[in-house]
Amino acid sequence: MKDGKRINVTRPFLPDFGEYMQELRPVWESHYLANRGSAVLRLEAMLREYLGVKNAVCFANGHAALEIAIQTLNLPRGSEIITTPYTFCSTTHAIVRSGMTPVFADIETAHFNIDPDAITALITPSTRAIVATHVYGFPCDVGRIEEIASRHGLYVIYDAAHAFGVKYRGVGIGNFGDASMFSTHATKAFHTIEGGILAYNDARFDPAMSRGHFGLGGDDEVSYVGTDAWMNEFEAVMGIVNLRHIGGIIAGRRAVAHRYWERLGGVEGIYCPRPDGNTEWNYVYLPVFFWGFRADRDKVKARLQENGIYARRYFYPLMNEAACYADDYGGADVPKARRAADNVLTLPLYSELEPDEVDKICDIILSM
């Protein structure tokens, strides 16, 4: 590793420039850059096959896709949606910006997903849906969540921002629940520079496509209260090219993750979550929890940063304790989520991270 090289928590994969430009040329020559052009339609067809879902609609970003999915349910304003506090702020914002009330459930501590038992305890007559995050791409307990939802007549939307390409028991993760949102932001294992995907198998979500373009229906018809959220052609071309390389990208990330686990996995006071035998994972993030380690999380983070290594407290703070929500939801009973947020550090992980760079990161941690 070269001295002075900054190592960020992630780095986007970029294909060969010539390969990208070759795919971009027809778009360039067409002058058709937006509004579901040929590249977006082609990418969506590729995504349906790769994700194994009936419908995959591309949006400008994952947050817009999640927000539109919630709004497409047409729930009464103020309806309660049970969700997790241990997630990125987009999950909670999408609920609140859609006029719904988030109800925060605690998590389990194997993979840090929402705890089905905690969901059950929070259901009231006002509960209409569950929005659960596949944290770090590890699948939620989809079987129990969907059993709870069926018993109580609730919708289930999965924030699958981290879970692109993940399979659970051989089934694409986008097939669970009523709909799933995938992020294709540049920080993800598969990216379209910026973007998101709404995957669903039920036709009730077909209006989501219209809502993503100002709610426009036929000629001069405004059918829904919508927004401007369709993916553009340049981003779709990046997705087309990157999807060709996804196998190699994940293989490279897998090798990096396993090197971390070899160095840190057996160390007292450090917990490195890994996929279970039912999961085909995408190695999107490398979370490490400092539970009883000789240095706490923030000291480790500071020491790494002193050496040009920028890890993240991902996820911190809890969403119910974020400044914009603390007054209303700060008292939520979520001790397991709080412990996770106070001790997690997500280490650098990308397919081009070199073995000696991983070793340097681990050596710094182990020297504390």
Q: What is the pLDDT of residue 79?
A: 98
Q: What is the pLDDT of residue 4?
A: 66
Q: What is the pLDDT of residue 3?
A: 57
Structural domains of the chain ordered from first start: 17-244 (3.40.640.10), 246-366 (3.90.1150.10)
Kindly give the parts of the chain with pLDDT less than 50: 1-2
Cis bond before residue 317 (omega within 30° of 0): yes
CB 190 within 8 A of CB 206: no
What's the longest Cα–Cα distance across the chain? 66
Q: What is the pLDDT of residue 226?
A: 85
pTM for this one? 0.96
Q: What is the pLDDT of residue 1?
A: 44
At residue 274, the 3 state secondary structure works out as: coil
326 sits in the region (left: phi over 0; alpha: psi -120 to 50; else beta) called alpha
Q: Each residue of 202-246: pLDDT tens digit?
A: 888 988 888 888 888 777 888 888 888 999 999 999 999 999 999
Cα distance between residue 282 and residue 261, in whole Å: 16
Residue 321, φ and ψ in degrees, nearest 5: -105, 0
Q: Each residue of 287-345: pLDDT tens digit?
A: 999 999 999 999 999 999 999 999 999 999 999 999 999 999 999 999 999 999 999 99
Helices (H), the chain: 17-30, 38-51, 62-72, 89-97, 116-122, 142-152, 207-211, 233-244, 246-264, 297-306, 326-329, 335-343, 355-366
Cα distance between residue 320 and residue 301, in whole Å: 24
